[in-house]
Amino acid sequence: MVWIALLLLGLVSLLQSTRRGHAVSVVLDQGGGPRGQTVRLVLDPSVLGRSTSIPGSSIANMSLSPWTYRDSFVASRLPRRISEAHCLTSGCLNLQGGEDAALEAKPVYYQALVFYRVPRPSRSTKAGKKVKKKKYDLRLGTEMIPVGCTCVRPSVVPQL
């Protein structure tokens, strides 16, 4: 489970590093794999260009429900900075460029795995002295991250 979480969390930073031509290595220190070994991870750069042909900001501006990205920063979360989409309109744009109130702009969410850094309880040594170095554990969690916006019909609840 830890292997999968580490792989998913590191993909974004790994992709950015390989685009810049940097070498990427991962240190594995928990789980059932090699303990304390550095493993070289090589990503095929020919695959990187196929993921999208249009940058995300262009798609956000061309959409009938445009959005912008804002950074969310949580010091105890890994990754600390996550970009979140925020819809710019409450309705959707029509072909003339005006806002159509018959449709609603709603965020599209993605459930992402994140780590939370939690302080490790301090242990006493044999002499009764506490360890002064602060240590942390990583707790695996999930967050719902808005990644874009889409147009939907308004939900109408009939009153009886």
pLDDT in tens, 74-83: 999 999 999 9
Say which CATH topology domain 58-120+134-152 has. Cystine Knot Cytokines, subunit B (2.10.90)
Hey, where are the domains in the chain?
58-120+134-152
What confidence tens digit (pLDDT) does each residue in 99-146 have? 988 999 999 999 999 999 998 887 665 665 655 677 888 999 999 999
Of 118, 90, 110, 84, give the one whose Cα is nearest residue 102: 90
What confidence tens digit (pLDDT) does each residue in 24-60 have? 444 444 455 554 555 555 656 665 555 455 666 688 8
The kind and range of the H/E element at 101 are strand 99-119
Backbone phi, psi, residue 45, to 5°: -70, -20
